[in-house]
Structure 1
Amino acid sequence: MKKIIDISQPLDHRTVVWPGDTPFSYDLTWTTQDSGSVNVGQIQMSTHTGTHIDAPFHFNDEGQRVIQLDLDVYVGDALVIHLPKTNSIGPKELDGIDLQGITRLLIRTDAWTDRRVFPSEIPFLEPQLAGYLADRGIRLVGVDLPSVDPLDSKELSAHHQLSAYGIAILEGIVLEHVQPGAYELIALPLALAEADGSPVRAVLRTIRDEKGG
């Protein structure tokens, strides 16, 4: 049987968010004691909480909203690579990695060591990486970080370049328990009609079953 590997951040009151953004909260609005039958909760959160996708509208007023995104991009074969101890990620860092036939690339950096604390700096994607990936057929890039750009960036060059080349962005995935290699990715956004991003329940499914079949 193929194995499901959860690569999503759990969402609770300790989930760290971008400084100044809406903290996550979950509260019961109805309880079985009050209603006589059910518990019903409400959540408050940013669209960029935990493991999430960015829609182009996040950084471009004319960009697509979540509901307009091609869902095919978020489901299918993916390659996990491991690039530890690097300050940035560009074509040089991917030199020697065979990306032939790869559509979705997930980058494990291990740089965000404590997800209960927002990092002070991260290994960002160099803007020129977008063209390099597009030339090799990549349609989605995912990172185990809160952003693909430097945390103090206002230009968001990597976001803009990836979008210009039609490459979807998946941020905040959890990969430290995942070995490099081929998997199937499932990371569907919610059907949010006006949103600039969406939390996802991202999982990997192994290509082979536990017995190697």
Structure 2
Amino acid sequence: MTAKWIDISQPLNERIAHWPGDTPFSYDLSFTKKETRSVNIGRITTSLHTGTHIDAPFHFESSAQTILDLDLSIFIGKARVIDVSHFRKIGAEQLQAFPLDKAERLLLKTLPISKPDTFPEEVIQLDPDLGPLLKEKNICLIGVDVPSVDALDSKEMAVHHSFHQHHIHILENIILDHVPPGDYELIALPLPIEGADGSPVRAVLRPLADPLGKEDVHVNP
């Protein structure tokens, strides 16, 4: 039996939290079936950094890659989920306690419970020294269950820049409440938005099978 896909995306609706001062998410019908006599046609308005999304390097570096410049293979493949919710700060020293070899992509569970409808007052502190460590471990993507890998009031964006300098891409606002630590297959494809600094994604995980073909023990109940 094939393991089921686990949705780790924040649902997009008018209750979802957005960055203060940024464009909130909205969905409405531009035209109803009654009006067109054939179909309903909807439209959305949103910031590209509301909900579960990818940051393109162009988001924090004007001469860097936009979403369409990025290799799609970054967002498909093996990912390791680890629980770091007992830490207040995560740097290279803290991550040394976790097995990271052959992780390829790393998803950090920093919250005991995600609250997509509430914008946090603060997020777990990540240290820029994670960049060199993750590069050493051949990790190409880091995912977090908060709106940013940097402090919410950061202007320097030191962690973003460290990850970019070490070729590590960023996935933000995932939900890992219901995902036990372990190895999974990740799909988190961005939309092909020309010139974009980021993109919403539908991020999903599937537990990896062991060498005998059995499902991994970390299956979502």
| TM-score range relative to shorter protein | over 0.9
CA distance in 1, matches of 2:113, 2:46: 21
| Aligned counterpart, 2:26 | 25
What is the deviation of 1:112? 6.2
SS at match of 1:205: strand
Report SS of the residue matched to 1:93. Answer: helix
8 Å CA contact 2:112, 2:177 repeated in 1: no
Q: How far apart are residue 206 of structure 1 and its match?
A: 1.6
Q: Deviations over 1:109-132 (max 9, x none)?
A: 116642211111110210011101
Q: Which segments of 5 or more consecutive residues in structure 2 lack a partner in the other structure?
A: 216-221
How far, CA to CA, are the matches of 2:117 and 2:53 in structure 1? 16
Query: Unpaired runs of 5+ in structure 1?
Result: none
Amino acid across the alignment from 2:122: E
CA contact (8 A) 2:51 2:116 kept: no
Is the Cα–Cα contact under 8 Å of residues 112 and 122 in structure 1 kept in the other structure? no
The 5 Å alignment of 1:1-213 reads 1-110=2-111, 113-208=114-209, 212-213=214-215
Contact 1:111 1:145 in 2 (8 A): no
Q: How many aligned residue pairs are there?
A: 212
Distance across 1 between alignment mates of 2:64 and 2:15: 31
SS of 1:131's equivalent in the other structure is helix
Partners of 1:33 and 1:96 in 2: how far apart?
Answer: 60
After superposition, the C-alpha distances for 1:2-38 in whole angstroms (9 at most, x for unaligned) are 2100000000000100111000000101111000010
CA distance in 1, matches of 2:209, 2:6: 13
1:144-165 CA distance string (max 9 Å, x none): 1100001111000000010010
Q: For 1:121 and 1:112, how far apart are their aligned partners in 2?
A: 14
Residue identity (%): 51
**Superposition deviation, residue 61 in structure 1:** 0.5
What value does the CA root-mean-square deviation take over the aligned residues?
Answer: 1.4
Quick check: 1:144–1:174 contact (8 Å CA) kept in 2? yes
Q: For residues 141 and 115 of structure 2, what CA distance do their matches in structure 1 show?
A: 25
The code of the aligned residue for 2:116 comes to R
1:60-95 Cα shifts (integer Å, max 9, x gaps): 000100000011010000100001132221012112
Q: Distance in 1 between matches of 2:113 and 2:47?
A: 20
